[in-house]
């Protein structure tokens, strides 16, 4: 039995030991899954036929000093093993921790720098692990295939991106995910002392999409995250971003969503005792388009230290009549005006994927006729 | 009423204890005294009350308040109302102000229509069901169509028995175009074993009517405060909830407003101070169930010592509730090293043209503000007290002046003690 088999068995045992997911869960007094999301409709069995995860599936292009290797070839590395051994009480997260087909490790050694573009060639579950050594820097863009389908497939695809930033490292990471009808993306980052992470994450929900992120911000570290959720009509998108602070750390989390279907946008900032001098700001903004649009927002703060500054805010609503009138009075059609506005709203993510294409094919397209 | 009690009891027994929020493991429901008859007879004037009680109420300023600025005054002691009085002119206008126990006998048809029907049914949650089963005391306040009660009506709740459960049930009805302000004060001395307050307040705000319900809560610091408050607001009506919370060991209180008619409005104001060993969790629940409704929620909380103040709220815009707007603002101040705070808001929006916003801040008293005041001659204690008063002012200005002054004094003393 290989080490990898060991990890899989461990995860599989834990998966089977957890009770089946109910379609409606309460956790800490907050309703997590609404009646629109029925897990009982999904194929939630632990993936079979993945005896050996593929070594292919990724195209990595870049320059600088880094190592890119299939995840399987690095399982004996202590820190990789540590990532793989992380288990969860969440059934779905367990799938993403162990049920992947394509796995890659990107390792930037201490003091070096690298700039990469990583493309996933198909829509199978993947696992991507980044390690950025002390004092090094990484700029990376990860793109999964474009094009959403509303096919009837209920096979759940659970993928994951994990980042380990050692002290004084700098990471600029952008990724676009969500290309399968039922896809869950997990993200985690562990920021070492005085490191920094700039993150732009764009998730396009299929029939059911979940995008959960968790970041631990170490002492003196800083996080700047922009997370976008696009939820087409007849889709359900659930986006959550949790941040936990150590002392003198900073976080700015900007969550934006364009919702035509049903969207849930949640964030939690935790500041434990002795995380002195921390600063945190979490903002959630949701633009709702069309009669079918529904949104739930829930920004939360949990503070155990007084020497901090923490704030959050949320807003849900539609594009203002004045803004639309301004654009239409300049000759744009209603569809063009809405599209332009949304492109502006999501402009930080233009570097990940051409927004015009995303909006035309995935979000607005022929559906805009019923947007007002 | 017996049938309703029995039904409520069955609902209570069928529902599990909540496992979310503040822990209730210390609440011993089987050890509570569910009905304590007061040792005094009902009085027709305050001067008829026994000397020790008179002294208590004089210290609270109740006789003076009744003389100077109350339209009606009531006192509930243990499980019964021992005093109620209303100005004659209001009785002539058709205003009804009496204990709920008396109202059940005198106005059964009205009570049957409103008591735990559409506002707070027994199925609302476990402690609403408990109240439905064992309630006693409380107030029935009815204001007929078009009558505007210019001075507030007040009821004071005093619990003076160890391990007592207090389950008052209050119904306030303001018919179309009416207006009234209702004030509740609550207190209890500290015993070795704390008790439970699980009161219910049901408010019905008619078309274009106005109701303001103010509560100044100072239960003993080993008491569980698990009350229920809910209002149904009809077209053009306005409901204001004002809560000032100092006492109890654990509070879980979420005044709710259902905006059922077009153009209805709700405003929620909440201020609290959580001290050592206290967990005060409160919030606002607003349901926009009609078009053009609006809501404003403002919460200011202070945590000191090992206290924890939590805001947990929900704003919901139902399908069909078009052109709604809602704004929630909650701020928390931490003034001790061991204090903590949390904010758990949820906004559910099912209409795309709603405008729903929320913002919150948490932190300590800003050094610049302290420095500014101290450089003008204030001591550090005085400066902190002033800043805290300013922090609470947007809410305390909604409380009647006499009580606001008293409330501010208590808070400032607590802050100064903490600094010392």
> Residue A29: pLDDT above 50?
no
How far apart are alpha carbons A239 and B151 in whole angstroms?
50
Q: How many residues does chain A have?
A: 372
Cross-chain residue pair B355–A317, CB shorter than 8 Å: yes
What pLDDT is recorded for position B420?
A: 60
How far apart are alpha carbons A105 and A72 in whole angstroms?
9
Condensed to tens digits (0 to 9), the pLDDT of residues A145-194 reads 766 555 556 677 788 999 999 999 999 999 988 767 778 899 999 999 99
What pLDDT is recorded for position A360?
A: 72
Block residue for tokens 């003389």:
B67
Condensed to tens digits (0 to 9), the pLDDT of residues A239-277 reads 999 999 998 999 999 999 999 988 889 999 999 999 999
Option in B338, B343, B350 nearest A294 (CB): B350
What φ, ψ does residue B196 adopt, rounded to 5°?
Answer: -135, 135
What pLDDT is recorded for position B261?
A: 97
What pLDDT is recorded for position A34?
A: 46
With cut-offs at 50, 70 and 90, classify the pLDDT of residue A38: low
- Going by C-alpha positions, the residue among A263, A267, A308, A307 that lies closest to residue A289 is A263
Option in A300, A309, A314 nearest B357 (CB): A314
How far apart are alpha carbons B124 and B45 in whole angstroms?
38
Condensed to tens digits (0 to 9), the pLDDT of residues B190-240 reads 665 778 999 999 999 999 999 999 999 988 888 899 999 999 999 999 999
What pLDDT is recorded for position B48?
A: 81
With cut-offs at 50, 70 and 90, classify the pLDDT of residue A8: confident
Q: What is residue A36's three-state secondary structure?
A: coil
Q: Are B153 and B180 in contact (CB under 8 A)?
A: yes
Q: Write down the number of H helices and E strands in chain A.
A: 6, 20
Say whether residue B353 is in contact with chain A using an 8 A CB cutoff.
yes
Residues of B in contact with A316 (CB under 8 A): 347, 349, 354-357
Say whether residue A297 is in contact with chain B using an 8 A CB cutoff.
yes
Q: List per-block mean pLDDT (blocks of 10 residues) for chain B, which spans 420 residues.
A: 96 90 84 84 80 78 78 84 82 92 94 96 96 95 95 87 88 98 83 82 98 92 93 98 93 96 97 93 96 97 94 94 96 93 93 94 90 93 88 89 79 73
How far apart are alpha carbons B86 and B102 in whole angstroms?
15
Residues of A in contact with B20 (CB under 8 A): 26-30
Shortest Cα–Cα distance, B359 to chain A (Å):
4
With cut-offs at 50, 70 and 90, classify the pLDDT of residue A366: very low
What pLDDT is recorded for position A37?
A: 46
Shortest Cα–Cα distance, A214 to chain B (Å):
18
For A121, A213, B231, B233, B360, the CA distances from B320, given in Å and listed in that order, are: 44, 34, 20, 17, 28
For A63, A125, A129, A202, the CA distances from A121, given in Å and listed in that order, are: 20, 11, 17, 18
Cross-chain residue pair A298–B345, CB shorter than 8 Å: yes
Interface test mutation site (partner B, options A301, A304, A309, A368, max chain B beta carbons within 10 A): A301
Strand partners, A306: none
What pLDDT is recorded for position B147?
A: 96
Condensed to tens digits (0 to 9), the pLDDT of residues A197-233 reads 999 999 988 878 889 999 999 999 999 999 999 998 8
What pLDDT is recorded for position A30?
A: 45
Cross-chain residue pair A317–B353, CB shorter than 8 Å: yes
Integer-rounded Cα radius of gyration of chain A: 20
Predicted TM-score of the model (pTM): 0.89
Lowest mean pLDDT among A110-114, A363-367, B224-228, B286-290: A363-367
Cross-chain residue pair A310–B336, CB shorter than 8 Å: no
First-to-final CA distance of chain B:
53
Block residue for tokens 């921790």:
A97
How far apart are alpha carbons B237 and B211 in whole angstroms?
8
Q: What is the mean pLDDT of chain B?
A: 90
Q: Are A65 and A125 in contact (CB under 8 A)?
A: no
Shortest Cα–Cα distance, A271 to chain B (Å):
10
Cross-chain residue pair B343–A312, CB shorter than 8 Å: yes
What pLDDT is recorded for position B106?
A: 95
Say whether residue B305 is in contact with chain A using an 8 A CB cutoff.
no
Say whether residue B355 is in contact with chain A using an 8 A CB cutoff.
yes
What pLDDT is recorded for position B359?
A: 94
The whole-angstrom distance between residue A280's C-alpha and the CA centroid of its chain comes to 19
CA atoms within 13 A on the CB side of A71: 32
DSSP assignment string, A60-118:
EEEEES-EEEEGGGGTTSHHHHHHHH---S-HHHHHHHH--SEEEEEEE-TT-EEEEEE
- Going by C-alpha positions, the residue among A264, A251, A363 that lies closest to residue A316 is A264
> Residue A308: pLDDT above 50?
yes
Interface test mutation site (partner B, options A306, A313, A318, A367, max chain B beta carbons within 10 A): A306
Q: What is the mean pLDDT of chain A?
A: 83
Option in B335, B359, B364 nearest A313 (CB): B359
CA-CA-CA-CA dihedral for A333, A338, A339, A342, to nearest 10? 160
What pLDDT is recorded for position A105?
A: 92
The better pLDDT of the pair A76, A47 is held by: A76
């Amino acid at each position: 039995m290989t080490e990898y088999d060991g990890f899989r068995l461990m995860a599989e045992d834990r998966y089977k030991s957890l009770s089946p997911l109910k379609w409606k869960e309460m956790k800490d007094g907050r309703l997590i899954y609404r009646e629109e999301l029925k897990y009982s409709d999904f194929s939630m069995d632990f993936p079979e036929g993945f005896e050996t995860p593929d070594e292919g599936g990724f195209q990595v292009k870049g320059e600088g000093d880094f190592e890119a290797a299939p995840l399987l070839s690095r399982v004996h590395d202590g820190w990789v093993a540590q990532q793989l051994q992380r288990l969860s009480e969440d059934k779905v997260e367990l799938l993403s921790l162990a049920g992947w087909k394509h796995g890659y490790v990107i390792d930037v050694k201490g003091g070096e720098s690298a700039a990469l573009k990583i493309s996933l060639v198909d829509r199978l579950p993947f696992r991507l692990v980044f390690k950025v050594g002390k004092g090094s820097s990484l700029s990376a863009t990860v793109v999964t295939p474009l094009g959403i389908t509303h096919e009837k497939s209920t096979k759940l695809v659970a993928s994951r991106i994990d980042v380990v930033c050692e002290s004084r490292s700098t990471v600029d990471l952008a990724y676009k995910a969500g290309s399968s009808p039922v896809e869950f993306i997990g993200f985690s980052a562990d920021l070492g002392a005085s490191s920094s992470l700039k993150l732009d994450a764009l998730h396009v929900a299929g029939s059911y999409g979940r995008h959960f992120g968790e970041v631990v911000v170490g002492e003196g570290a800083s996080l700047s995250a922009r997370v976008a959720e696009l939820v087409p009509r007849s889709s359900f998108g659930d986006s959550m971003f949790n941040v936990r602070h150590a002392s003198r750390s900073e976080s700015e989390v900007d969550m934006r969503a364009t919702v035509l279907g049903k969207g849930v946008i949640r964030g939690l900032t935790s500041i434990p005792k002795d995380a002195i001098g921390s600063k945190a700001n979490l903002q959630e903004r949701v633009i709702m388009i069309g009669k079918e649009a529904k949104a739930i927002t829930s920004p939360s703060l949990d503070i155990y230290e007084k020497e901090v500054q923490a704030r959050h805010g949320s807003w849900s609503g539609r594009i203002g009549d004045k803004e639309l009138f301004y654009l239409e009075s300049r000759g744009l059609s209603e569809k063009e005006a809405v599209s332009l506005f949304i492109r502006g709203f999501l402009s930080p993510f233009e570097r990940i994927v051409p927004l015009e294409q995303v909006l035309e094919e995935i979000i607005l397209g022929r559906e805009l006729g019923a947007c007002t | 009423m017996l049938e309703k009690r029995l039904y409520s009891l069955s609902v209570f027994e069928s529902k599990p204890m909540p496992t979310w929020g503040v822990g209730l493991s210390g609440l011993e429901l089987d050890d509570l005294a569910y009905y304590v008859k007061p040792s005094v007879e009902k009085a027709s004037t305050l001067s008829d009350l026994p000397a020790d009680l008179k002294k208590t109420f004089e210290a609270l300023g109740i006789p003076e308040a009744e003389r100077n600025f109350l339209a009606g005054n009531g006192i509930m002691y243990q499980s019964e109302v021992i005093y109620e009085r209303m100005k004659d002119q209001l009785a002539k206008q058709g205003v009804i102000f009496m204990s709920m126990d008396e109202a059940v006998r005198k106005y059964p048809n009205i009570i049957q229509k409103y008591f735990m029907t559409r506002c707070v049914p027994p199925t609302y949650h476990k402690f609403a069901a408990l109240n439905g089963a064992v309630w006693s005391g409380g107030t029935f306040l009815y204001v007929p169509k078009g009558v505007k009660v210019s001075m507030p009506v007040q009821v004071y709740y005093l619990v003076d028995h160890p391990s007592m459960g207090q389950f008052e049930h209050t119904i306030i009805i303001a018919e179309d175009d009416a207006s009234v302000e209702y004030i509740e004060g609550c207190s209890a001395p500290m015993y070795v074993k704390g008790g439970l307050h699980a009161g219910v307040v049901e408010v019905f705000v008619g078309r274009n009517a106005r109701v303001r319900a103010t509560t100044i809560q100072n239960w003993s610091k080993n008491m569980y405060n698990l009350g229920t408050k809910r209002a149904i607001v009809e077209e053009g009506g306005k409901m204001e909830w004002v809560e000032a919370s100092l006492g109890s060991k654990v509070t879980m209180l979420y005044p709710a407003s259902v905006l059922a008619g077009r153009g209805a409005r709700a405003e929620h104001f909440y201020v609290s101070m959580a001290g050592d060993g206290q967990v005060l969790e409160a919030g606002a629940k607003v349901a926009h169930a009609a078009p053009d409704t609006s809501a404003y929620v403002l919460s200011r909380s202070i945590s000191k010592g090992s206290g924890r103040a939590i805001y947990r709220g929900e704003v919901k815009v139902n399908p069909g509730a078009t052109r709604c707007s809602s704004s929630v603002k909650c701020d928390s101040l931490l003034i001790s090293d061991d204090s903590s705070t949390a904010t758990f808001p949820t906004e559910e929006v099912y209409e795309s043209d709603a405008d729903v916003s929320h913002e919150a801040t948490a932190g300590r008293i800003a050094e610049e503000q302290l420095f500014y005041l101290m450089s003008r001659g204030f001591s550090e204690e005085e400066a902190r007290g002033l800043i805290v008063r300013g922090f609470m002012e947007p809410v305390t200005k909604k409380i009647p002046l006499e009580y606001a002054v008293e409330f501010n004094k208590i808070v400032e003393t607590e802050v100064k003690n903490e600094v010392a």
